[in-house]
Amino acid sequence: MKKILAIIVATAMLLLLVACNNSTQTETTNNPTTEVTTQKETTTSGTNPTTEETTTEEETTTIDPKDVTYTFEVVGNPFYPDSTLYKIAYVTRKGSDGSVDQGCIIVEWNTDAETAEFIDVYVDHVGTEIPVYAIGKGVLVNKTTDGNGKVVLNPVNVKTVIIPDSVIEIRDGAFDMMSGIESIQFGNGVRNIGKFAFEGLHRISEINLPESLLTIQESAFFGCTSVKTLVIPDSVIEIGEGAFLGCRSLESISIPERFKDSMDVIFGVLPSNVTITYTSGE
């Protein structure tokens, strides 16, 4: 009897153990799992859909501002603002980086003072500030009216020209043959000096060009016979033929080494005593 009872108890314990194992398996199976979701696009080819994983990459191109070049288009006829001191025209400035901007160009500066300090901003009738981007041809005048009401242009008395930082371009013939000018103070924005821009300024003894300058065009300083010191910054990448032809008083020239083989084209015959320093031009 005792033997039978022991068998029954052992059988019951075995059945209980099996039940517990089954319960543990079910509990493990029902545990939640963490999923990582990847966005995909489904492309259908015919009737069979295809799942593709796509990656979008944005590419950003950075342009150094000093490498941007500009062109100008005059918009409308020149006009006098509130003051008769200057006459302007609107221009559209287009950059090689795709930028488009509105500005203005000074086409006339009516003065008989010794210093011509050009404005950097024109404020229109509604108070909008428009930057001055360029200085035009023959900008300096001394305009008077005779007894018959006829406008007379007289020689200017300007000795010093001050160009603001806003000016990017000094256009062809801007100050040519203004022989009274003795000093030019360039702003730090000038990038281009046009053809014959400072031709015949025979009283200027020193030319210090800004670090912003990129191009000096043909005959820009032709016939500046009193210039002794010339510093051309490393930023300059182009100098036109005869840009400094006739500068026969030169004693010191600092110029990027990239122009070493073009010196005769740029300067013509240089004085025998001139000291030339070639900079890296980087």
pLDDT confidence band for 26 (50 / 70 / 90): very low
Is the pLDDT score of 127 beyond 80? yes
Is the pLDDT score of 30 beyond 70? no
Domains of the chain: 68-279 (3.80.10.10)
Say what the pTM is.
0.76
In degrees to the nearest 10, what's the CA dihedral of 132, 137, 139, 143? -140
In degrees to the nearest 10, what's the CA dihedral of 262, 223, 164, 137? -110
User: How far apart, in whole angstroms, are the C-alpha atoms of residue 237 and residue 96?
Assistant: 16
pLDDT digits (tens, 9 = 90+) for 94-122: 999 999 999 999 999 999 899 999 999 99
In degrees to the nearest 10, what's the CA dihedral of 215, 204, 143, 220? -20
Beta bridge partners of 121: 131
Phi, psi of 47, rounded to the nearest 5 degrees: -110, 0
Percent composition of the chain: helix, strand, coil (DSSP 3-state, to 5): 15, 35, 50
pLDDT digits (tens, 9 = 90+) for 206-258: 999 999 999 999 999 999 999 999 999 999 999 999 999 999 999 999 999 99
Amino acid at 151: V
